[in-house]
Amino acid sequence: MAKSSRLRSRPVNRSGLQQLPTRLLQYPLVPCKGRITVTQEDLACLDAGEFLNDVIIDFYLKYLLLEGVGGSVAQRSHVFSSFFYRQLSRRRAAGEDHASSVPDRHIRHQRVKTWTRNEDIFTKDFLFVPVNQESHWFLVVVCFPGLDVVRHEDFQPAAGGPDRPAGKITVNMKPQQPPECTQQGWRKRRVMKRSCILVMDSLKLSNHENVCRLIRDYLQVEWEVRRKTPRLFTPDSMRSCSCRVPQQDNSSDCGVYLLQYVESFLQNPVVHFDLPVRLENWFPRQRVRQKRDEIRSLIMRLKDKEPNK
Q: What are the residue numbers of the active site? A: 136, 201, 254
Written as one string, the DSSP assignment of 269-305 is: -B----SSPB-TTSS-HHHHHTHHHHHHHHHHHHHHH
* Amino acid at residue number 19: Q
Cα 161 from Cα 61, distance rounded (Å): 22
Q: Are strands 190-193 and 151-154 parallel, antiparallel or unpaired?
A: antiparallel
Handedness of CA 105, 110, 113, 115 (dihedral sign): negative
Q: Are strands 77-79 and 36-39 parallel, antiparallel or unpaired?
A: unpaired
Cα 198 from Cα 3, distance rounded (Å): 22
| 226-235 CB contacts, 8 Å cutoff, 24+ apart | 226/120, 226/122, 227/122, 231/148
What's the DSSP call for residue 139?
E
CB atoms within 10 A of CB 304: 9
Burial class of 162 by CB neighbour count within 10 A (0 to 12, 13 to 18, 19+): middle
222 contacts 121 by C-beta, under 8 angstroms: yes
